[in-house]
Chain A
Amino acid sequence: MEKKALSSFLALILSLPVFPTLAQAHAFPVRSDPRVGWTVAVSPPKVTIWFDGELEPAFSTITVYNAAKQQVDKNNSRVGGSDNSVLEVDLPPLSAGSYRVYWKALSKDTHVTEGDFMFAIAGKAK
């Protein structure tokens, strides 16, 4: 009886995480375009980050800075249209060089995550 109760308890607890609708957790990045740490051939029109959970649009931001620490994005950071797990910002045509993306994500249950990464545009920096 004791063994049965213990195994039922374990099964119950272990099965809780398989129901994602029970809760919204922290939002962490899954992938991005441009990819983290990569060099692209031409200036990308925007930076997009896909997260593993839905974001709160009002408090999730993304900005892009050049090597001189000047903000270069179009300052129109947004959570993408029909998919609330996508964060993106438009870019003007950028010259060759390295750029750093800073993001802050507020998940639906108010957990905050943040981070940054670099990408580069091939060619000689001006």
Chain B
Amino acid sequence: MQRTVSVVIATLLGVLFNADHGHAHGVVGKRFFPATLVVDDPFVSDEIDLLKVNKGSTNQNGTETSVGFEFSKRLTPDFDLSAGWRYLFQQPTNGPSTSGAGNPEFGFKYVLFRSPEHETILTTGFGAEIGGIGPARVAEKISTFSPGFLFGKGLGDLPESLKYLRPFSINGQLQVTIPSDRRTVTTSVNENGDIEQDTEHHPTTIPFGFAIMYSVPYLQSFVKDVGLNAPIANLFPIVEFNWETPVSGPGKKLTTGFVNPGLIWVGKYVELGLEAQVPKVSGKNAGINALIHVFIDDLLPNIFTWTPWGVIGPTSAPK
């Protein structure tokens, strides 16, 4: 076990010291947007969230920690498909801890609009969690479907007098999550031999959020070289805000919301992110978000930019 830990640490350090600048995965104009940890980013890509960890804060139901990955593959320069999966660890407020594989998640994104000079992008996306595949103790029996919009905007078009604000960018998402069933009823026999029915309601919800970040690489390369070197020159200080509001069912007013301050570091082939998850509307104790994200089209371009219709080139804005 000790050996395994040292191998992982050594390889992580290797990644760090092989670092340079960020790469054109979420690029519009001269702006590079790294993948964000909570809010989905608006770019289509050939990339892997190799390891995505969320140790959630504690809410009325208990605490949930997830460890998972997501793979996305472009089929055209403006369209990608994605598939993801998470392993869940749950500590209910009442009851024993449990764990197991969650349901698989699939999705696609399509870029509707790009403005390189204004560092702006608008994308539509669709996600689906296929219910009933993971074990019932941790995974939902129902499926959910989530159409939505995603956007990104860099502030590179601010006037010269505000040039030190140009490295700021914002990206966000607005979705509707629609359950395949409004409620599920579980029937059981209690210790007295009576039949009991437990009804669980599944509301339609609106998840939305945005991320604000400051790009140190943008400052260094396009505004003013203030003399920073790697690894500081590769940092993106970030705060993400996310909420989810039920709009149907008994839990209609129970909005959840979080503020997620943290840091993203982008190297030549890999991005690392770490954020605190601070509950703002309900819940207590801060959680943690962590991400290891790999730019596989840079790492192995001949393999991962391939499509059945030919190689579509790097993940960069069409000229």
A-to-B contact residues, CB < 8 Å: 3-4, 7-8, 10-11, 13-18, 20, 22-26, 28-32, 35-38, 52-53, 109-117
Main secondary structure of the interface of B (DSSP, over half): mixed
Q: Which residues between 5 and 50 of chain B lie within 8 Å of chain A, taking CB atoms?
A: 7-8, 11-12, 14-15, 18, 20-24, 27, 30, 50
| Closest chain A residue to B301, Cβ basis | A109
Q: Are B298 and A26 in contact (CB under 8 A)?
A: yes
Q: Is the CB of B224 within 8 A of A52?
A: no
B30 lies within 8 A of A17 (CB)? no
Residue B294 CB within 8 A of the other chain: yes
B291 CB → nearest A CB, Å: 13
- Across the interface, name the chain A residue whose C-beta is closest to B163: A37
Interface size class, chain B: 35 or more
Establish whether residues B15 and A14, one from each chain, have CB atoms under 8 Å apart when the complex forms: yes
Q: Is the CB of B15 within 8 A of A23?
A: no
A40 CB to nearest B CB, Å: 12
- Known A28-B22, A117-B223; 4 more pairs at CB < 8 Å: A24-B301, A26-B24, A110-B314, A113-B24
Which 4 pairs, one residue from A and one from B, show the smallest C-beta to C-beta distance? A37-B224, A28-B21, A17-B269, A18-B14
Asked if residues A25 and B295 are in contact (CB atoms below 8 Å), the reply is: yes
| In the complex with contacts A14-B11, A35-B225, A36-B220, A30-B21 CB distance below 8 A | yes
With the chains together, A111 CA to B251 CA distance in Å?
Answer: 49
* Chain B residue with Cβ nearest A20: B18
Binding site for A on B (CB under 8 A): 4, 7-8, 11-12, 14-15, 18, 20-24, 27, 30, 50-51, 163, 217, 220-225, 267-270, 292, 294-295, 298-301, 313-314, 316, 319
Q: Which of A3, A17, A114 contacts B18 (CB 8 A)?
A: A17
For B314, list chain A residues within 8 Å (CB). Answer: 26, 109-112
* Chain B residue contacts of A15, Cβ below 8 A: 11, 14
Residue of A nearest to B220 (CB): A36
Interface core residue of B14, B22, B51, B300 (most chain A CB under 10 Å): B14
Q: How far is the CA of A18 from the CA of B14 in the complex (A)?
A: 6
Give the distance in Å from the alpha carbon of A32 to the alpha carbon of B14 in the complex: 27
Nearest CB of A to B271, in Å? 10
Q: How far is the CB of A104 from chain B (nearest CB, A)?
A: 10
Interchain CA distance A25-B299 in the complex, whole Å: 7
- Residue in chain B with minimal CB distance to A28: B21
* Least CB distance, A103 to chain B, in whole angstroms: 10
Contacts of B301 in A (CB 8 A): 23-24, 109, 111
